[in-house]
Amino acid sequence: MDKYSTRCTVTKVPFLSTLTVKNAEGKKRLSIRAWRLMTIALVHILFVLSYRADIQILEGDISGSRILGFHLTDAFMSFQVFAATHEFPINLIIGTATILLFYVLVGGRAFCGWVCPYTFLGEIGEKIHENLAAKKIIKRREFDPKWRYVFTALFIAMSFASSQLVFEIFSVTGIVSRFVIYGYFHAIWFAIFVLLVEIFYSRRGWCRYVCPIGATYSLLTRTNAVKVSWNKDRCDHCLVCIDTCLVPHDPRWGEYFRQEREILRDLLQDHGEIKIHHIGSTAVSGICAKPIVDILIECSDIAAAKQRLIEAGYLLMNESESRCSLNKGYTEAGFAERVFHVHLRNFGDTDETFFRDFLRANADIAAQYEALKLELCKRFEFDRDAYTAAKSEFVLKFTRIAKENSK
């Protein structure tokens, strides 16, 4: 995957190409996805060696195992046992505590990405789903991820009431793990059914809305010692992160805007009166944003201004009868340190400035907006159109309030 010469992200390139990445110098290396999948494979190779060749390094399966004789137990499996038997065996408590401590340190989601055997199938299914959705063959369906906590409570309640480990009947994670280790058994058809649902109905539906294992470990993500962060000094400006996450506010964005404003004024000095505004989240101090500076230009001749900017090297993104958007910073050699989206508008078409000013004047509303964006970024990780649409209600509501207050 060459993320420097094209706008490559996981959803926009062939699946196999995501197993390698090119750095800024053009050298290939294994991607994080490749390392994740190899780790999943290694874990299950050790399980298979234990069962088939009696090489006792890692015994058991993904639900319960022993590593060099030390017991390890999946946390949700243990909670089911506690609920079903009404007992608390000391070995189970020690094994569960060990696993929980590990994921507190490295992050609960590490299980889903680096250990769960269904991940490989789910990611292939996700790629197929995205391809079908892009061709309008199927519809994208999104639900509230909090449903997985409802299912978690439901399975625990059923275990308590029935004295059975009810979830193990349906656990796609356990089914796939045991299929790999022990061979064919009929339950694998349920896992295939789940995969088909994810392909044709809802992307990663099991993982995002049902799986209580992932739900249990997700509760540890806020306390884990290892966190993903954005390092300004080491950033090489590939901008792939723009499609998947937001970054903390950078005070340099305001200066980037002011410098670009002067460049735009010089370029458009022969095009009559113009007004240039810094808009978007990069214009609101203290809230996270995508690292792109949005600039709105009010002008009397959008077509002429567009042509002048294109001649100066700006790239046309989209246009309509009364609006036009261009970008600067997308280059054949990669992405520049400073990236701008420039929006040409008729005079008075400036709703974004009302919203910006309202957020600047109301820190509590700005904090609500940031929290909403972070939640939506997780829910619509690979669907930027859905992400934008979902936050529109909030934006329109407070834009309307801001315009009414300005009268």
Walk along the chain (407 residues) in steps of 10 and give the mean pLDDT of each run: 48 72 73 89 94 90 82 88 92 87 78 90 89 86 88 95 93 94 94 96 91 88 63 56 72 94 94 93 92 93 94 87 86 67 94 95 94 81 67 91 88
- The pLDDT assigned to 407 comes to 74
Q: Is 4 exposed, middle or buried (0-12, 13-18, 19+ CB in 10 A)?
A: buried
Is 269 among the domain residues?
Answer: yes
Is 282 among the domain residues?
Answer: yes
> CA end-to-end span of the chain, whole Å?
52
- The pLDDT assigned to 342 comes to 95
Is 19 among the domain residues?
Answer: no
322 and 199 belong to one structural domain: no
- The pLDDT assigned to 7 comes to 46
206 and 249 belong to one structural domain: no
pTM over 0.85, yes/no: no
Q: Where are the beta strands (DSSP E) in 134-183?
A: none
Cβ(265)–Cβ(309) under 8 Å? no
> H or E segment at 160?
helix 147-162
- The pLDDT assigned to 99 comes to 85
Domain span at 120: 31-218
204 and 254 belong to one structural domain: no
- The pLDDT assigned to 227 comes to 62
67 and 136 belong to one structural domain: yes
- The pLDDT assigned to 4 comes to 42
Total structural domains in the chain?
Answer: 2
- The pLDDT assigned to 24 comes to 57
307 and 164 belong to one structural domain: no
198 and 77 belong to one structural domain: yes
Alpha-carbon gap, residue 340 to 257, rounded angstroms: 9
CATH number of the domain to which 250 belongs: 3.30.460.10
Of 264, 266, 291, which is closest to residue 280 (Cα–Cα)? 291
Is 96 among the domain residues?
Answer: yes
Instruction: Provide, for the chain, the percentages of residues in helix, strand and coil under a 3-state DSSP scheme, each rounded to the nearest 5.
Output: 55, 15, 30
366 and 328 belong to one structural domain: yes
Examine the fold and report which residue of 218, 248, 274 is the final residue of a domain before the chain moves on. Answer: 218
Q: Is 135 exposed, middle or buried (0-12, 13-18, 19+ CB in 10 A)?
A: exposed
Side-by-side strand order, sheet with 293-299: 274-279, 293-299, 334-345, 323-331, 315-319
Beta strands at 20-22 and 28-30: parallel, antiparallel or unpaired? antiparallel
212 and 327 belong to one structural domain: no
Is 226 among the domain residues?
Answer: no
168 and 316 belong to one structural domain: no
Is 2 among the domain residues?
Answer: no
- B/e letters for 164-178, b = 16+ CB within 10 Å, e = fewer, are ebbbbebbbbbbbbb
101 and 160 belong to one structural domain: yes
Is 255 among the domain residues?
Answer: yes
- The pLDDT assigned to 234 comes to 60
213 and 247 belong to one structural domain: no
286 is written with which tokens?
């203290």
Is 213 among the domain residues?
Answer: yes
287 and 172 belong to one structural domain: no
43 is written with which tokens?
């874990």
Cβ(210)–Cβ(198) under 8 Å? no
- The pLDDT assigned to 23 comes to 63
